[in-house]
Structure 1
Amino acid sequence: MSDIDVLVIGSGIAGLSAAIAARQAGAESVIIAEAAGGIGGASRLSSGLIVGAGTAMQATAGIADSAELMFRDYMNANQWGLDGGVTRRLAAESGPTIDWLVSLGAEFHPTPVSGGYETQPRCAVAIDEGQGLIDALARAARNLDIDVALGQRVDRLLVKDGVVVGAAVGDDELSASAVIIASGGFGSNPEKIAEFYPSLAKAGDWLWYVGEDGSHGDAIDLGQQVGARITGHDTGCSMLAPGFTRSHETYLPGWLVIVDPDGQRFIAENAHYSALDRQAVLRGGRFFVLFDSQALDPEAAKATPFYAGGSKAYPGRTERTSPNWNPDILREMVAAGRIPFADSIAELAVAVGVPDDQLEATIAEYNEGAQAGLDRMGKYPEFLRPLEKSPFYAAEIRLSEIVITGTGLQIDPEARVLDALGCPIPGLFAAGEATGGVIWPFYPSSGSSLGHGAAFGRVAGTNAAARSIAGA
């Protein structure tokens, strides 16, 4: 006889969704073990965008969408390299999950938005961002008498005859009919970043994580104890940043010109952050951005928009100033010697160690396209600001800001954790950032992380409850 029906490890959107779903599916006793001193994990720090296809909000807004369209978008974005069964289940559950969140009291702005390159706008935007979602789920959990044990970092799974039968915190053991791992990623663990996200480890002391300080990769440690398959190596969501501040900035200003160490452009600078991330990984993660004196002039800087759609603000978000690329910060960094400058592009190339002939050719071609309003890389015309007013500046940027880690436990469409042979480990489920390979290597859209966390949290909770009721 188990002490409880379902034990959930972690209290972010995946863990809370799992616990609530388990209670709604008939589990009588559900406990959440949370390592931190408060609930919410990295989810509470998020922007609160969550992806779902075929939602009531979309229908009200006149947006025709479906799970099939979302499935194709995700698969196409990743060149059909995703687990098709898991992706199809995610797409099928995504819309009903957002409607379920609304039924639990989560509040969203009425009109879904586009979060990337999806075929239909399917991002629901939470009022009060990630904290608003967590607050609603926490209230629902309290109403269902779900206990949350704070400051309890689970360090061991209990196993009997190959079946996971509970977990332990030090010498304190708790048996459960099913265990759900929803403990998040490993963005604050340098050792795990070096092992599982080496593309970001290259950033060295520039590296930082926007999420929860307690994101140490417990899911991987727990899974390895029971022979779980770890998947999604060297994937995640990261941002290119100059290292001036440790302020999260999702998009680079579109008017910057990005070149690689050979002095060549490789992408339209106004591309979605997931596209920049992926292309930067493939090219080594270290680049330079070029601009001229206009960027340091407060009046001239206003002439060109920073982000697609103006401020790149979603409903309920206020107009914001770039924390890294505003004139005040740029002048400060120039004065501090952080940004080299020169009177010519050739001299600037020498200053940063880029081939001068190639950089001159690159900027000449860019300027010609900017004057014509047609960029070779396809940058939107509104961002085409020629580099023509000396002095010219070059700031180094690196893939250095970790937003989400993508390596974790492999699951099947029922959110069951798989072993090294691809077989389900009895009694063990997982959801959210604790899992790997669900939405990687190309992050399909803003809101995908919260979307798969909530959707597979529900799947895991429902199936864990069924296991408990069946007396397994």
Structure 2
Amino acid sequence: MKKEAVSRRNFLISAGKVAGGAAVGTMLAGCTTSPARTDAKINWDRETDVLIIGSGFAGMAAAVEAKKAGADVLVIEKNTVLGGNSIQCAGNIQLGGGTSTQLAAGIQDTWQRFYNDIFAYGHHRADPELLRAVCQHIVPTHDWFIDLGLNFRRVVTKDEGMTVACSHNAAPGDYPGSRGISQWYVIYKKVKEQGTEILTECKAGELITNADGAVIGAKVTYQGKPMYFKARKAVFLGSGGWKSNVAMRLNWDPRLDEDLAAGGAPFVETSGEMINAAVDIGAGMRDMSFVCEFRFKWGTKIYSSWDPPSIEVVPGGAGVTISAFNNIVLLKNGGVRFVDENAAGAYPQIPFYNAFLNINDKPRNVWAITDAAGAADLKWNLDHLRSPSETAAPYLSPSCVAVANTLEELGAKMGFPGSAVASEIAKYNGFVDARNDADFGKQNMGRKLAAAPYYAVKCQFFAHDQMGGLAVNTKGQILKRSAAYGPAPIPLDQQEVIPHLYGAGESVGGYVGEERGHGKIGLYIAHALLSAPHMAAETPIA
């Protein structure tokens, strides 16, 4: 395969274009939108039938099927490298309903079972019509991947929320690795094969409408210049969510402040500008009160490693792993315990999420402490801890790691009063001796923390995925905000749409409700595949 790479330094400063494939660009800008405008006196710089904004799973899948349906397609991506958060993800896909991979593994399944489990896991808050339509298209989505050349592993696993094993992962093939980049890459290769043009360093920020309110294009910034791109049939928002946008997070949950980084950092910024652009022209929203699900890392400030950033280099992890918390003590600001440490050990760690987010002292300062015996049990590489580096695996941040021969010295390195840390660990050791955690009820406590040297790694909290986003129907058409305010409820597919504006993926709400399990990629792609033929069939706007 042809190597398409850019150095870590140049990742943030290079610029370029993809014509059927190559990928370079510039640093992402913040989320800004301006009032939508009509097409009066606009001189269009580019024209196409379908303008796809965003090159992740949803955008690229929609590009493939819109092109196959006969539409001229242009994909634009604001980042320097294609793929967005899709290329960063772990890559397990929940594809239930009775796929050929499930059947070969002896697993019987139905789309109704798949629907029921997702609906229940989201506390019955997903949009039933939308989720039903997408779940009914999951088996064809599985087959679509096979047609593109993806090999699925024979072993199908059962992840959270599922009563039947349906998590599919990539087996080795003509693509990088076996994570999310594998699934994304087979779609990307198809887009290249179809001859669809892709532009990077091309950031959309404003939707253009005509006098009838139909979306006919977008104002973009391409290679530093403002331009207008016309879409004769449709604009598709595969532009991702808004987890990088601190102000937007705070509007829905005042705890989600700048202490939180965002999933995909530092390579991807999901700042929600196209969600806001759609709202500017009257789009509705779904599930915003649920905001985010979270992840956390230990000893690092970055979510994932990627060296060099390239569509043919598999992104990896960062930080140290804590596989069990029986020999771990968690301390917050001031050097005191604040939670049963086991709450951080089993997904979804909702009690730990709340305990962390509800810390009143800012910035939040949470560390995991163990001793020499605990570090050995966890199989930590002590050389990495003694000499942390942000430029080599496991990408530890010096400010997020502390090693000392005494608890007082360790506390000082963590930014806590050393005497407070020593006192808190002594108290915890007493609980271990008594086999009773009188403060937080921790079960299965291991040994006392008493063997120097002592080790501590700081917790970095990440906004990982939003539950909510733009309101859409089963065809992927974005709905008008007014549809949510009538005197009587209207079935989803009868609600009024913003003409010629579509979306799927993380820019959209309604798939999962209040909580989602791993593997939501399948929902996003299935919905994009459903949307594409409708976009291609739109009557062109002159």
TM class by smaller structure: 0.7 to 0.9
Partner residue of 1:58?
102
Is the CA contact 2:368–2:459 (under 8 Å) kept in the aligned structure 1? Answer: no
Q: Determine the C-alpha separation between the residues in 1 that align with 2:280 and 2:262.
A: 29
1:455 aligns with 2:531: no
Is the CA contact 1:237–1:405 (under 8 Å) kept in the aligned structure 2? Answer: yes
1:240 aligns with 2:319: no
1:142-221 matches, within 5 Å, as 142-160=192-210, 161-169=212-220, 170-195=226-251, 198-203=254-259, 209-210=264-265, 212-221=267-276
1:138 aligns with 2:138: no
Q: Secondary structure at the match of 2:156?
A: coil
1:80 aligns with 2:124: yes
1:25-44 matches, within 5 Å, as 26-44=69-87
Q: Determine the C-alpha separation between the residues in 1 that align with 2:104 and 2:448.
A: 46
Percent identity of equivalent pairs? 22
Q: Determine the C-alpha separation between the residues in 2 that align with 1:162 and 1:62.
A: 51
1:292 to 343, 347, 371: 371
Name which of structure 1's ranges 332-341 and 412-421 shifts more when overlaid on structure 2: 332-341
Q: Determine the C-alpha separation between the residues in 1 that align with 2:372 and 2:457.
A: 17
1:254 to 313, 324, 331: 324
Structure 2 unaligned regions, length at least 5: 1-45, 221-225, 305-316, 389-396, 484-495
Q: CA deviation at 1:16?
A: 0.7
Q: Determine the C-alpha separation between the residues in 2 that align with 1:378 and 1:21.
A: 52
Q: Determine the C-alpha separation between the residues in 2 that align with 1:352 and 1:167.
A: 59
Name whichever structure is richer in helix by fraction: 1
Name which of structure 1's ranges 126-135 and 275-284 shifts more when overlaid on structure 2: 275-284
Q: CA deviation at 1:121?
A: 2.3
Q: CA deviation at 1:281?
A: 6.1
Is the CA contact 1:288–1:394 (under 8 Å) kept in the aligned structure 2? Answer: no
Is the CA contact 1:184–1:434 (under 8 Å) kept in the aligned structure 2? Answer: yes
1:124 aligns with 2:168: yes
Q: CA deviation at 1:265?
A: 0.9
Q: Secondary structure at the match of 2:473?
A: coil
Q: Determine the C-alpha separation between the residues in 1 that align with 2:230 and 2:419.
A: 58
User: Would the alpha carbon gap of residues 395 and 418 (structure 1) be closer, same or farther in structure 2, given more than 3 Å must change?
Assistant: farther
Name which of structure 1's ranges 5-14 and 331-340 shifts more when overlaid on structure 2: 331-340
Q: Determine the C-alpha separation between the residues in 2 that align with 1:457 and 1:13.
A: 9
Q: Determine the C-alpha separation between the residues in 1 that align with 2:128 and 2:355.
A: 26
Q: CA deviation at 1:367?
A: 6.5
User: Would the alpha carbon gap of residues 263 and 63 (structure 1) be closer, same or farther in structure 2, given more than 3 Å must change?
Assistant: same
Is the CA contact 1:410–1:436 (under 8 Å) kept in the aligned structure 2? Answer: yes
Letter in 1 for 2:141: T
Partner residue of 2:490?
none
Partner residue of 1:418?
479
Q: CA deviation at 1:183?
A: 1.0
Deviations 1:407-444 (A, max 9, x none): 43222333221222234222211111212353354232
Is the CA contact 1:236–1:441 (under 8 Å) kept in the aligned structure 2? Answer: no
Letter in 2 for 1:389: A
Q: Secondary structure at the match of 2:70?
A: coil
Letter in 2 for 1:271: A
Q: CA deviation at 1:272?
A: 1.9
User: Would the alpha carbon gap of residues 14 and 335 (structure 1) be closer, same or farther in structure 2, given more than 3 Å must change?
Assistant: closer
Is the CA contact 2:301–2:460 (under 8 Å) kept in the aligned structure 1? Answer: no
Letter in 2 for 1:151: E
1:404 aligns with 2:479: no
Is the CA contact 1:409–1:436 (under 8 Å) kept in the aligned structure 2? Answer: yes
1:225 aligns with 2:280: yes
Is the CA contact 1:8–1:181 (under 8 Å) kept in the aligned structure 2? Answer: yes
User: Would the alpha carbon gap of residues 271 and 103 (structure 1) be closer, same or farther in structure 2, given more than 3 Å must change?
Assistant: same
Q: Secondary structure at the match of 2:294?
A: strand
Q: Determine the C-alpha separation between the residues in 2 that align with 1:367 and 1:82.
A: 47
Name which of structure 1's ranges 157-166 and 391-400 shifts more when overlaid on structure 2: 391-400
Partner residue of 1:318?
none
User: Would the alpha carbon gap of residues 252 and 426 (structure 1) be closer, same or farther in structure 2, given more than 3 Å must change?
Assistant: farther
Deviations 1:234-266 (A, max 9, x none): 623432234445354596421334467654416
Q: CA deviation at 1:30?
A: 1.9
Is the CA contact 2:299–2:460 (under 8 Å) kept in the aligned structure 1? Answer: no
Q: Secondary structure at the match of 1:401?
A: strand
User: Would the alpha carbon gap of residues 96 and 388 (structure 1) be closer, same or farther in structure 2, given more than 3 Å must change?
Assistant: same
Letter in 2 for 1:342: L
Structure 1 unaligned regions, length at least 5: 307-320
Q: Determine the C-alpha separation between the residues in 2 that align with 1:280 and 1:97.
A: 39
Letter in 2 for 1:103: D
Q: Determine the C-alpha separation between the residues in 2 that align with 1:186 and 1:12.
A: 14
Q: CA deviation at 1:224?
A: 2.1
1:432 aligns with 2:505: yes
Q: Determine the C-alpha separation between the residues in 2 that align with 1:403 and 1:457.
A: 21
Q: CA deviation at 1:168?
A: 2.8
Is the CA contact 1:257–1:269 (under 8 Å) kept in the aligned structure 2? Answer: no
Q: Secondary structure at the match of 1:295?
A: helix
User: Would the alpha carbon gap of residues 121 and 394 (structure 1) be closer, same or farther in structure 2, given more than 3 Å must change?
Assistant: same
Q: Secondary structure at the match of 2:241?
A: coil
Letter in 1 for 2:92: L
Q: Secondary structure at the match of 1:467?
A: coil
Is the CA contact 2:293–2:464 (under 8 Å) kept in the aligned structure 1? Answer: yes
Partner residue of 2:382?
327
Q: CA deviation at 1:76?
A: 2.2
User: Would the alpha carbon gap of residues 245 and 196 (structure 1) be closer, same or farther in structure 2, given more than 3 Å must change?
Assistant: same
The size of the alignment, in residue pairs, is: 433
Given the two structures, how large is their TM-score scaled by the length of structure 2?
Answer: 0.68
User: Would the alpha carbon gap of residues 280 and 124 (structure 1) be closer, same or farther in structure 2, given more than 3 Å must change?
Assistant: farther
Is the CA contact 1:259–1:265 (under 8 Å) kept in the aligned structure 2? Answer: no
Q: Secondary structure at the match of 2:108?
A: coil
Q: Secondary structure at the match of 1:36?
A: coil
2:340 to 248, 265, 270: 265
Is the CA contact 2:256–2:357 (under 8 Å) kept in the aligned structure 1? Answer: no
